Amino acid sequence: MHARYRREISHSCASWRFRSDIFHGSSTIRRLPTSFPQTIVEVAPLLRDKKISPIELTRTCLGKIEKLNPALNAFITVTADSALAQARAAEDEIAHGNWRGPLHGVPIALKDLIDTAGVRTTAGSALFKDRVPTEDAEIVRRLKQAGAVILGKNNLHEFAYGGSSLVSHFGDVHNPWNIAHIAGGSSGGSAAAVAASLCYAAIGTDTAGSIREPAALCGCVGLKPTAHAGFYVSYYVVFLIFLGTLCAATVKPLWMLATRWMRQDGRQ
């Protein structure tokens, strides 16, 4: 590990311990009780068979975000109105036999490095705190085609250029298992949101561990896919970066998400 990076993490962790007393009660954020399954593998067939409602599923996730995000700071922007509109559309389509696949009606989140039309995309930086893209990144377009419900944009290490997620204009990201610990980075908000069951999956990015490290620190599963054709992420992403996924518990949901944007030429 580079010496400068070690100093950053060491300094951040030392200062974190002194700030942990801003939270009241237990330093551990426990998953809220829910009557819904906890993974995409479990919830997708229930949505397909109309045994649970995408609207109620989305409302449950939004309720968790409202309760836990003030402590975790996993989300920069929550798109509650559009998420509920997407959930209503999914419920109507499924009710009429137009099930699009295992992501249809499933609430997910996006790292705030990924452009979303009409929704600010900040990269965790003051430079772009009010930037609103005019078009979706390709991955967002494909997820919308799959019928996924997008809950909002996850906090991150500024410009995805660090491994702690303590350097963000919007504040530190907190590890849901123990708020005295870092969530890792740069996709720290994505990992924290998944680990706390605020969403069923999240999209992150990874160049040198930015999905894999926070997944390990937050106790979820993260995937940096094999290199494939590059997709538009955001106009300020000018270096080699890989889109990837974070999910709870098992590897199978990662495959479900990854297949939404992998190459269509048959390459695995």
In sequence order, which residues have a C-beta less than 8 Å from that of residue 166 and are 6 or more positions away?
12, 16, 157, 172, 173, 182, 185
> Is 125 a known active-site residue?
no
- Helix ranges (H only) for 49-199 are 54-72, 80-95, 138-145, 188-195
Q: How many C-beta atoms lie closer than 10 Å to residue 264's C-beta?
A: 7
Residue 165 annotated as catalytic: no
Q: Which of 111, 168, 187, 197 is the catalytic position? A: 111
Longest dimension (CA), the chain: 58
Known catalytic membership, residue 111: yes
Kindly state the tokens that stand for 156: 């991150």
Query: How much of the chain is in helix, strand and coil states, percent to nearest 5?
Result: 35, 15, 50
Residues in Cβ contact with 180 at an 8 Å cutoff, skipping those fewer than 6 apart? 16, 17, 20, 27
Q: Say which of 164, 165, 210, 234 is annotated catalytic.
A: 210
Which residue out of 125, 186, 187, 190 is catalytically annotated? 186
| Residues forming the active site | 111, 186, 210
